[in-house]
């Protein structure tokens, strides 16, 4: 029945509602007469005029105030207030006509009583229609039954935003605050966190939505970890701006990523350090469209340099970050000139023209090929980009008098086993050798591990594999990696670069390394699914061990030597490592260049073995 009504043409639906309001106006008039005269009303000829007057006044007022544009199953507080306003306007006209005409046998108090009864009937009809329509949808198409973890303002707004979605049914709130337990929010009970397992089992809960925007990362991690054993799908809030706008649906709630377990509460940045090389300066970011490069651009733009130069060899990546930054600048009111530059760090003439034309104060060199198997399969191109691209950019920076040059390096440069790692260590040696030479440019490097969500990262790969039904692929059961969120890494890079005196290798504190197999299990469990293995052959998603790839290491390190030196920032250290002089490094670079030109993979590996101690395959 409900589906048939929803399928009616809009004009027919409105006609039915108008007819219902006419009937309700007549009923309200009869009830008002009966209540006022204390007897069931059988209208005489004069009183019939009132019965005609009521719908003739009510329907035009309702049309004018838009009551027939509302959709009953989405009726909320705003629509009910509009209804009250419309009846108030109608009541004013109704009372005015009765006072003016002074019909016999028509009490003047009817002008107040009838609109009040009419408001009660119209409001009730809208509410009943809404509950009937939504209830029918839920009874037919209900798929998910959910709880909201967090009974604060965000939880209440979440419930209001999702209240109209017939595919989900809110069965309760959960909160750790004992003063909220046992109470209710808009008729929905608030339960203690200790009751969660029983609630999930007893009420058949399928989803838990986290509405905890203000808790610390550590507290949030503990809550998520406590939910892992429950057979539920865990999701979290979108941005609060979207939530309060009223545009949010269930589909807008984002999946829990593994960063919700691995991320840390960031250390508040030092404003003076952040702004030192950025505010009112000209800044160049190479690889501006990449994962790290784009986040560097966002944070640099927030410090309002006079000009931000975006250099990338990918047209689409450059277009994307340029458009995003333009939109952010418009919203935030940043007075920064954005200059998109399409080019490669291997084109030294192009780099020279850029630096001469724009005279950058600081360069953040994020351009690199970083996918280990891809560079392993194409070593010459990887070396050209990572080693000689860095050399050319650094040489141009020195020749043009750039004040600061910061290289984005990687933990794979430490005792490398891959061409990619060896190329990044060689790039570090290039900058260390140039820093030892006299010059105006302050060269430094910032070394860190994997960033969550970057291109080539395991997290987006696992997400795609989960969406496809598995399996999740892990190269080795013991492989571990360091992880950090992209915003935290970029923020620390900017602060580390500002502390440089020349030649430092800064190392970011990445926290504890994470076992990739454990990460895969967490992502499966946080999706409300189970791991299929020998102990649970009926599970949902399998984890497949595929074997180590060429150049891959079981464990990553951040330091070549030991005993790093502390800095003024608790998560930034400086490595104490040996380096080569330019005289010692130059013959290696010349030999490496000839090997790249000849496409000689074996010689590339030999040079890397001699210079950076890359392990042979």
Known catalytic residues are: 412
Which residues sit opposite 282 in a β-bridge?
Answer: 307
Report the half-sphere exposure of 533 (CA within 13 A, side-chain side). 12
Rounded distance, CA 462 to CA 473, Å?
8
Nearest to 360 by CA among 415, 388, 314, 399: 399
Q: In 10 A of CB 371, how many CB atoms?
A: 15
Residue 152 phi/psi, 5-degree rounding, is -95, -160
Q: How far apart are the first and last CA of the chain?
A: 71
Q: In 10 A of CB 198, how many CB atoms?
A: 10
Buried b (16+ CB within 10 A) or exposed e, 490-504: bbbbbbbbbbbeebb
Q: In 10 A of CB 341, how many CB atoms?
A: 21
DSSP, collapsed to helix, strand or coil, labels residue 451 as: strand
The separation between CA 301 and the C-alpha centre of its own chain, rounded to angstroms, equals 19
Rounded distance, CA 346 to CA 349, Å?
9
Q: Which residues contact 327 (CB under 8 A, 6 or more apart)?
A: none
Estimate the crossing angle of helix 315-332 against helix 291-302, to 10 degrees: 20
DSSP, collapsed to helix, strand or coil, labels residue 168 as: strand
Nearest to 177 by CA among 189, 193, 188: 193
Q: In what order do the strands lie in the sheet containing 531-532?
A: 472-474, 541-545, 531-532
């Amino acid at each position: 029945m409900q589906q048939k009504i929803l399928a009616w043409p809009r004009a027919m639906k409105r006609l039915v509602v108008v007819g219902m309001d006419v009937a309700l106006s007549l009923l309200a008039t009869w009830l008002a007469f009966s209540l006022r005269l204390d007897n069931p009303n059988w209208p005489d000829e004069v009183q019939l005029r009132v019965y005609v007057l009521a719908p003739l006044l009510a329907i035009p007022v309702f049309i004018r105030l838009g009551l027939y544009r509302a959709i009953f199953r989405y009726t909320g507080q705003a629509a009910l207030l509009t209804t009250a306003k419309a009846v108030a306007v109608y009541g004013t006209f109704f009372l005015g006509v009765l006072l003016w005409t002074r019909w016999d046998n028509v009490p003047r108090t009817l002008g107040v009583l009838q609109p009040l009864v009419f408001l009660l009937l119209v409001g009730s009809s809208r509410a009943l229609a809404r509950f009937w329509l939504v209830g029918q949808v839920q009874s037919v198409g209900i798929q998910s039954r959910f709880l909201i973890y967090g009974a604060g303002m965000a939880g209440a707004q979440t419930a209001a935003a999702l209240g109209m979605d017939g595919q989900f049914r809110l069965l309760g709130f959960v909160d750790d605050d004992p003063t909220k337990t046992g109470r209710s929010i808009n008729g929905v009970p608030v339960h203690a966190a200790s009751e969660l397992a029983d609630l999930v089992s007893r009420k058949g809960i399928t989803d838990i939505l986290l509405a905890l925007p203000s808790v610390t990362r550590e507290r949030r991690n503990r809550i998520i970890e406590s939910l892992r054993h429950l057979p539920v799908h865990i999701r979290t809030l979108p941005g609060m701006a979207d939530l309060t706008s009223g545009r949010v649906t269930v589909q807008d709630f984002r999946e829990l990523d593994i960063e919700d377990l691995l991320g840390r509460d960031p250390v508040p940045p030092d404003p003076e350090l952040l702004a030192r090389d950025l505010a009112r300066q000209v800044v160049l970011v190479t690889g501006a469209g990449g994962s790290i490069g784009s986040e560097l651009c966002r944070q640099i733009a927030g410090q309002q340099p006079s000009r931000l130069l975006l250099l990338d060899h990918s047209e689409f990546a450059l277009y994307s970050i340029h458009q995003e930054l333009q939109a952010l600048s418009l919203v935030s009111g940043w007075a920064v000139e954005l200059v998109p530059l399409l080019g490669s760090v291997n084109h030294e003439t192009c780099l020279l023209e850029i630096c001469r034309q724009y005279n950058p104060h600081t360069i953040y060199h994020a351009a690199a090929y970083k996918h280990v198997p891809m560079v392993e399969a194409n070593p010459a191109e990887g070396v050209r980009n990572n080693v000689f691209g860095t050399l050319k950019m650094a040489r141009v920076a020195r020749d043009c008098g750039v004040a600061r040059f910061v290289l984005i390096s990687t933990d794979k440069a430490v005792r490398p086993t891959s061409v990619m790692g060896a190329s990044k260590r060689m790039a570090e040696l290039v900058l260390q050798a140039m820093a030892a030479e006299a010059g105006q440019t302050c060269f430094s490097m910032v070394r860190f591990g994997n960033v969550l969500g970057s291109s080539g990262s395991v997290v987006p790969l696992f997400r795609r594999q989960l969406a496809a039904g598995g399996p999740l692929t892990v190269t080795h059961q013991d492989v571990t990696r360091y992880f950090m969120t992209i915003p935290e890494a970029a923020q620390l890079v900017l602060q580390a670069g500002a502390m440089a005196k020349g030649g430092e290798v800064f190392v970011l504190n990445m926290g504890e390394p994470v076992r990739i197999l454990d990460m895969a299990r967490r992502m499966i469990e946080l999706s409300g699914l189970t791991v299929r293995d020998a102990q649970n052959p009926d599970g949902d998603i399998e984890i497949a061990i595929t074997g180590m790839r060429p150049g891959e290491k079981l464990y990553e390190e951040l330091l070549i030597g030991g005993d790093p030196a502390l800095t003024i920032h608790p998560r930034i250290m400086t490595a104490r490592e040996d380096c080569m002089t330019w005289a010692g490094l130059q013959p290696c670079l010349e030999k490496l260049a000839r090997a790249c030109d000849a496409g000689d993979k074996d010689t590339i590996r030999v040079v890397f073995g001699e210079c950076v101690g890359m392990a042979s395959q």
